[in-house]
Amino acid sequence: MHYTANRQWRFSSTPTRAGLARMAENGLRDKVLNLDSMNPWVKRVEYAVRGPILTRAVELEEELRQGVKKPFTEVIKANIGDAHAMGQRPITFLRQVSALCLYPELLSEPLFPDDAKQRARRLLAACGGQSVGAYTASHGIEIIRQDVARYIERRDGGIPANPDNIYLSTGASDAVMTMLKLLVSGEGRSRTGVMIPIPQYPLYSAGIAELNAVQVNYYLDEEHCWALDVGDRKCIEDVIKFAWEEQLFLMADEVYQDNVYAEGSEFHSFKKVLFELGPKYSNVVELGFMGECGFRGGYMEVVNLDPAVQQQLSKLVSVRLCPPVPGQVLLDVVMNPPKPGEPSYQSFIRVSVGGSQPRPRSPHQPQPLPEGPSFSGLCLFPGPGGHLISLFTFSYFLAGGEGALAICCQGDRVSVIYAHWPFPTT
């Protein structure tokens, strides 16, 4: 095949000698991008949430669909907090506002309550061309950031929150990676160290590896419900004081701030405790965020960040243009839910609160799995705040249990061995 000067292709039935030489050369050469030439830090990344356990679970599901006989009929994937995939019904008000924003022609339909229509009109008015298909400001729609700020102020008892310090994100994971990129620097022995809890959520170790930072582990206390306990204010004070004394940048992952169930427990935000400790500690930097699953909505608030560094943060965020607008819309409804007296209030409270309360149990004793199938030889410690079982509840095995399939406990290497060992034979 030849290419002529007049930009037309001519084909011949036999390749030229030069063409054959190039083909032979290409056949002997390695791919330009291969495991030796690719980014070495990417090869170091391990992300257990979507790792080998999930791959094996998908293989087993496919085998079951094809009629392969197994000693079980179902694979329960507990690798990620995906409530809807596990059967939780969506909250009606969230879906109503989302539907109205995505298809504004529905605003004339009597099926939708007035408060949902009012929210949708307000949000659409803040979008370019009154469409969620338009780009937004890189750090998110202004009125949504204002609503997030008001939510934080209510949560923290009136401590001010500046909308200019709030950045909407593509889920909480995006916010974490953005801040890590801002923090990590240096080479060799001068590389940035990032201190993370063990057991941990795999996003942190994966992000640290990807950015060639140094993972510095601190170990949580299993006998004390994996303390640090966010229900214990003194723990938070100690962390803030430690960060101040060691001149550390503090990132507070507060995604599960509403998941505090144990009697007598309450959530304490790092920001609130920081301000209540007084001026001596007020220069510690805090980051908080909340995330949604499939809609990929989230936010982070930066406190006391150097203004010059915050300009760099805004520049870094702008590279990705903006977070998904439907995710921003859903986040706004989460931050600013129906109020008493509004048409959707009673149904919203009934579904959002009534559907999320587990049965009360002692927060200091190992617990069997609540409901569902029996797992022999497995004990769970509930997490701080009364969590019974979640992504962040870690198990230990007393003995190999018959009939057990797998418990994908993040950060726990034993779970990988256990998950792979019994499938073929038990």
Res. 11: pLDDT tops 50: no
pLDDT band of 263, cuts 50, 70, 90: low
Of 84-88, 194-198, 214-218, 356-360, give the lowest mean pLDDT range: 356-360
Do 187 and 238 belong together in one domain? yes
Do 211 and 144 belong together in one domain? yes
Distances (CA, A) of 417 to 52, 60, 86, 316: 11, 16, 24, 40
DSSP SS3 for 160: coil
User: 387: which 2 tokens?
Assistant: 């969590």
Work out the average pLDDT over 232-257: 73
Of 6-20, 21-35, 230-244, 306-320, give the lowest mean pLDDT range: 6-20
Do 69 and 177 belong together in one domain? no
- Tell me if 270 sits within 8 A of 236, measured CB to CB: yes
Q: Which position has the higher pLDDT, 72 or 66?
A: 66
Res. 336: pLDDT tops 70: yes
Residue 394 and residue 379: Cα distance in Å, rounded? 9
Q: Within 277-344, where are the H helices?
A: 307-318, 325-335
pLDDT band of 413, cuts 50, 70, 90: very low
- pLDDT of amino acid 28: 57
CATH number, position 273: 3.40.640.10
Res. 124: pLDDT tops 90: yes
Residue 52 and residue 421: Cα distance in Å, rounded? 13
- pLDDT of amino acid 54: 77
**CA angle at 299 for the pair 293 and 303, rounded to the nearest 5°:** 150
Q: Which residues lie below 8 Å from residue 182, measured CB to CB, with a gap of 6+? A: 309, 312, 313, 316
Q: Which residues lie below 8 Å from residue 49, measured CB to CB, with a gap of 6+? A: 79, 80, 202, 203, 410
Is the residue at 337 inside a domain?
no
Q: Find the domain containing 80 and state its range.
A: 52-87+361-420
Do 197 and 241 belong together in one domain? yes
Work out the average pLDDT over 106-132: 90
Alpha-carbon torsion (205, 208, 212, 216), positive or negative: negative
As a whole number of Å, the end-to-end CA separation of the chain is 60
Do 367 and 280 belong together in one domain? no
- Tell me if 287 sits within 8 A of 270, measured CB to CB: no
Q: Which position has the higher pLDDT, 419 or 213?
A: 213
Domains contained in the chain, number: 3
pLDDT band of 112, cuts 50, 70, 90: very high
Is the residue at 228 inside a domain?
yes
Among 250, 46, 313, 275, CA closest to 156: 275
Res. 121: pLDDT tops 90: yes
Do 30 and 71 belong together in one domain? no
Do 168 and 296 belong together in one domain? yes
Q: Which residues lie below 8 Å from residue 341, measured CB to CB, with a gap of 6+? A: none
Domain boundary among 260, 292, 322: 322
- pLDDT of amino acid 259: 53
- pLDDT of amino acid 120: 92
Residue 146 and residue 336: Cα distance in Å, rounded? 10
Among 266, 271, 309, CA closest to 288: 271
* Residue-averaged pLDDT of the chain: 70
- Tell me if 322 sits within 8 A of 136, measured CB to CB: yes
Do 396 and 273 belong together in one domain? no
DSSP SS3 for 4: coil
- pLDDT of amino acid 244: 77
**CA angle at 76 for the pair 71 and 78, rounded to the nearest 5°:** 140
Do 148 and 13 belong together in one domain? no
pLDDT band of 395, cuts 50, 70, 90: very low
Do 146 and 289 belong together in one domain? yes
Work out the average pLDDT over 206-228: 72
Res. 223: pLDDT tops 90: no
Is the residue at 371 inside a domain?
yes
Do 58 and 34 belong together in one domain? no
Instruction: For 145-192, write each residue's pLDDT tens digit.
Output: 999 899 888 887 888 889 999 988 887 778 888 888 888 887 778 888
DSSP SS3 for 138: coil
DSSP for 12-81, please give it.
-SS--HHHHHHHHHHHHSPPSS-TTTS-HHHHH---GGGSHHHHHHHHHHHHHHTT---S-S-----SS-
pLDDT band of 21, cuts 50, 70, 90: low
Alpha-carbon torsion (165, 166, 170, 173), positive or negative: positive
Q: Which position has the higher pLDDT, 329 or 199?
A: 329
- pLDDT of amino acid 362: 35
Is the residue at 349 inside a domain?
no
Is the residue at 106 inside a domain?
no
Residue 411 and residue 278: Cα distance in Å, rounded? 36
For 319, other C-beta atoms within 10 Å of its C-beta total 8
Q: Which position has the higher pLDDT, 357 or 274?
A: 274
- pLDDT of amino acid 363: 38
Do 12 and 57 belong together in one domain? no
Domain boundary among 291, 322, 353: 322
Return the top range by mean pLDDT from 17-31, 79-93, 176-190.
176-190
- Tell me if 312 sits within 8 A of 183, measured CB to CB: no
Work out the average pLDDT over 225-229: 51
- pLDDT of amino acid 221: 66
- Tell me if 163 sits within 8 A of 170, measured CB to CB: no
Res. 314: pLDDT tops 50: yes
Is the residue at 76 inside a domain?
yes
Work out the average pLDDT over 370-378: 43
Residue 408 and residue 76: Cα distance in Å, rounded? 10
Res. 365: pLDDT tops 80: no
What φ, ψ does residue 411 adopt, rounded to 5°?
80, 0
- pLDDT of amino acid 14: 55
Is the residue at 343 inside a domain?
no
Please give the share of the chain, as a percent, with pLDDT higher than 70: 60
pLDDT band of 376, cuts 50, 70, 90: very low
What does the radius of gyration of the chain's CA atoms come to, in whole angstroms? 26
Is the residue at 338 inside a domain?
no
